[in-house]
Amino acid sequence: MYDTLIPSNIASALAHVRQRIQDAAKRAKRPPSDIQLLAVSKTFNAHAVLEAAQAGQTAFGENYIQEAIEKITTLAANTPPLQLEWHCIGPVQSNKTRLVAEHFDWLHTLDRAKIADRLHAQRPEHVNPLNVCIQVNIDHSATKSGVDPSEALALARHVLTLPRLHLRGMMCIPDPSDSPEQTRQAHRAAKTLFDTLRAKLLADAPHFDTLSMGMSADLECAIEEGSTMVRVGSALFGQRPIPAQNAVQP
């Protein structure tokens, strides 16, 4: 489905992924600028992030809070300043909300009111509100986090009562499937829900504009079905030592 070559050079891998995004957008008759690339740098070090940043990439996704903060801190000291945007895309336990509130620009995996309340209370005054996406368990997978689609609107409305959070959209991780048709159905269901939520929230959440969906293996399909942000790791940085779904949150 996509080249599994391990890129020797992050800049060329980035150009290749950008081309894939452009081609998919073209097929879907969408402007390529409607789709943002989030570079998922989990398990890769600050050097890899720096290399991507020097090739023009600004938004980075991380799953493991402690690992992320080390990179964020290292790169914040870079000269010249890099102006990177950090997205937390991993599950967040209650005892990690303060670190997320203090160090990240985005959280993609909000799935509980209690976590929202803590992030709101802990978001420092001197920075912008934290951008959040509601994670939805779009294919009702038993093993995955995310709210049930039927609960997404209620959680979104709760977030709107918290001014230190900025409701930006919805995120999903469809189950990996051998059947392209099954993957497409999940993407399509996500887009339908996203459009419904956006219509219902329009008056109160004008910036509900992000559908975070699609990874290295399924970004074409995700874009064809309406994704506005693809989260791409291995196609940019190479294979990770352990598959993400087996990794243990430290």
Ligand X SMILES: *Cc1c(COP(=O)(O)O)cnc(C)c1O
| Piece in contact with ligand X (CB under 6 A), picked from 97-105, 114-122, 142-150, 210-218 | 210-218
| Piece in contact with ligand X (CB under 6 A), picked from 49-57, 138-146, 185-193, 209-217 | 209-217
| 244 lies in the site for ligand X, by CB under 6 A | yes
> At its nearest, how many Å lie between ligand X and the CB of residue 244?
4
Interface residue with ligand X among 173, 197, 201, 223 (CB under 6 A) is: 173
Query: Who's near 58: CB < 8 A, 6+ residues apart?
Result: 83, 84, 85
> At its nearest, how many Å lie between ligand X and the CB of residue 63?
5
Bridge partners, 166 (sequence order): 131
| 131 lies in the site for ligand X, by CB under 6 A | no
Q: Is 3 helix (H, G, I), strand (E, B) or coil?
A: coil
> At its nearest, how many Å lie between ligand X and the CB of residue 157?
24
Bridge partners, 94 (sequence order): none
The CA-atom distances, in angstroms, between 191 and each of 31, 48, 62, 176, 177 are 17, 32, 24, 17, 18
| Piece in contact with ligand X (CB under 6 A), picked from 6-14, 21-29, 75-83, 233-241 | 233-241
**Cβ proximity of 68 and 88 under 8 Å:** yes
Q: How many residues of this chain bind ligand X (CB under 6 A)?
A: 14
Spatial CA neighbour of 147 closest among 160, 137, 133: 137
Residue ranges in 28-162 assigned as alpha helix (H): 46-54, 65-76, 97-103, 113-122, 152-159
| 43 lies in the site for ligand X, by CB under 6 A | no
The residue at minimum Cβ distance from ligand X is 233
Backbone angles phi, psi at 106, to 5 degrees: -135, 150
The residue to which tokens 């309406």 are assigned = 226
| 228 lies in the site for ligand X, by CB under 6 A | no
Whose Cβ is closer to ligand X: residue 162's or residue 212's?
A: 212
Interface residue with ligand X among 155, 167, 215, 229 (CB under 6 A) is: 215
Contact footprint for ligand X (CB under 6 A): 40, 42, 63, 89, 173, 215-217, 231-235, 244
